[in-house]
Amino acid sequence: MPKIFGMTASPLTKKGVKSSSDAAVPLSELERVLDSEVFTVKDREEVESVAPTPDIIEEYYTPPDIEKVAHYKMQLEQLLRKYEEANELALGNHKIKFHDQEELIDKLRKKSEKFHRDLQYCLDHLGLWCAYKAAEHWMKGDLGDNNLDVSVDVAQTFKNNRDSFLKEAMQVLQSAFVKEWSNPCTDQGFQVAV
């Protein structure tokens, strides 16, 4: 009995495949690995007539006002320094015994620096509201360290400091919003946000 494996995405992972001759090698490799044959429709017109297509809505916004976000960038910079100093203090009071502990601490340090860089990027290119939403997303989501062993006191301190940095960063960014502002997509709210 034949087995069918249907794919909605392209089986080609390489960029730059523009013709069927470019696709021949990757497709034959896929067929070999899966012990299968690749089939596709010749005429996409029928498929496209029943496939849902999204309604595209383009929104254009003015870029963030650098002068207005400079104050918040400075506050985030001070926050990062505050928690970096707290991390260094915790590190100075603790003797790292194993290489994996050092790697863990380095990972947590880099994660905090990345959050800071990303928030700065959002402020520079997307505005206060987007920076706030990014911090909010990180606070609600998986920060990628659930599987890290934070039984080491200093690593737990680094993790707590990173979480505190994000909470305080959200507060700094939220302080930019007008209290009554509930919809950042309105013209009035957008002007406050940038």
What confidence tens digit (pLDDT) does each residue in 116-143 have? 899 889 888 888 888 888 888 888 875 5
DSSP code of residue 184: T
Helix ranges, 12-56 (H)? 20-34, 44-50
What sign has the CA pseudo-torsion 14, 16, 20, 24? negative
Domain termination site, one of 41, 58, 75? 58
Per-residue pLDDT tens digits for 14-65: 666 777 777 788 888 888 888 888 887 777 787 788 878 888 888 777 777 7
Q: How many residues does the chain have?
A: 194
Range of the domain at 98: 66-193
pTM: 0.56
Asked which of 16, 41, 58 is the last residue of a domain, the reply is 58
Nearest alpha-carbon partner for 117 in 130, 127, 137, 131: 131
